[in-house]
Amino acid sequence: MTVRKSDSELLYLYKKTGNLSLIGELYTRYTALVYGVCLKYLKDRDEAKDASMQLFEKLIETLKIHEVENFKSWLYVASRNHCLMQIRSKKGKFKQEISTLDMENQFFLHPDEENGLEEDLAKMEECINKLIDGQKECVRLFYLDERCYKEISVLTKFDLNKVKSFIQNGKRNLKICMEENG
């Protein structure tokens, strides 16, 4: 009888060895969750299947870089964010002939929202990485993993008031950093 490895063990072994079958085993456990999230947001079975596969491919590289405490929660958030980015990227791709008579003037300017969003996300990631360790950890758990104060306190071993302080100060420092970086 073989003992089933925990998510954490599989992640550790993958980082150590780079063995793709470990990621395959881990992802298989949550395929239904990922597909369900994708279907919820994309509202199309084929698009949800495609997004599920894209997420798996993305995991191969992403998990080498990121430290993941709770894989299931992290995967849920990653799936949701992937779908939201897909939805956002579709906006503005609708093409239709517009005559100059339909416009009030001939100068029709569009802000490049897609590049702006990607730049903002990159700046935010950079600014999060500049936070002190306690703030960085608590801000990620609270905003990205959507954990409550008590869960963060248990996970990090910080007392509840310290967690609240780290989140409040981290949020303020993140805002300052974002403003300084345009």
Report residue 6 as tokens: 């925990």
87 with 121, same domain: the answer is no
CA–CA gap between residue 139 and residue 70 (Å, rounded): 15
Q: What is the CATH number of the domain that holds 3?
A: 1.10.1740.10
Residue 107 has pLDDT above 50, yes or no: no
Q: What is the CATH number of the domain that holds 175?
A: 1.10.10.10
Residue 101 has pLDDT above 80, yes or no: no
Report residue 77 as tokens: 């958030």
Confidence of residue 1 (pLDDT cuts 50, 70, 90): low
Q: 120-158, pLDDT tens digit by residue?
A: 677 788 888 889 989 999 988 887 778 888 989 999 999
3 with 68, same domain: the answer is yes
Confidence of residue 18 (pLDDT cuts 50, 70, 90): confident
- Classify residue 110: in a domain, yes or no: no
- Classify residue 102: in a domain, yes or no: no
122 with 182, same domain: the answer is yes
- Classify residue 105: in a domain, yes or no: no
Task: Give how many domains the chain has, as a whole number.
Answer: 2
Q: What is the mean pLDDT of the chain?
A: 82
- Classify residue 48: in a domain, yes or no: yes
CA–CA gap between residue 93 and residue 102 (Å, rounded): 19
- Classify residue 99: in a domain, yes or no: no
78 with 1, same domain: the answer is yes
66 with 135, same domain: the answer is no
Chain mean position to CA 99: 40
- What is the reported pLDDT for 117? 59
125 with 51, same domain: the answer is no
7 with 87, same domain: the answer is yes
At what angle are helices 31-42 and 20-29 packed, to 10 degrees? 60
- Classify residue 111: in a domain, yes or no: no
Report residue 44 as tokens: 């199309």
User: CA nearest 177: which of 118, 127, 125, 116?
Assistant: 127
- Classify residue 124: in a domain, yes or no: yes
Residue 182 has pLDDT above 70, yes or no: no
86 with 38, same domain: the answer is yes
Residue range(s) defining the domain that contains residue 58: 1-91
Percent of the chain as helix, strand, coil, to the nearest 5 = 75, 0, 25
Cα dihedral sign for 44, 49, 52, 53? negative
Q: Are 79 and 55 in contact (CB under 8 A)?
A: yes
- Classify residue 167: in a domain, yes or no: yes
74 with 137, same domain: the answer is no
Q: Are 105 and 139 in contact (CB under 8 A)?
A: no
2 with 86, same domain: the answer is yes
CA–CA gap between residue 20 and residue 14 (Å, rounded): 7
- What is the reported pLDDT for 112? 47
Report residue 146 as tokens: 């959507």
84 with 122, same domain: the answer is no
Residue 17 has pLDDT above 70, yes or no: yes
- DSSP letters spanning 69-123: S-HHHHHHHHHHHHHHHHHHHHTT-------GGGSSSS------HHHHHHHHHHH
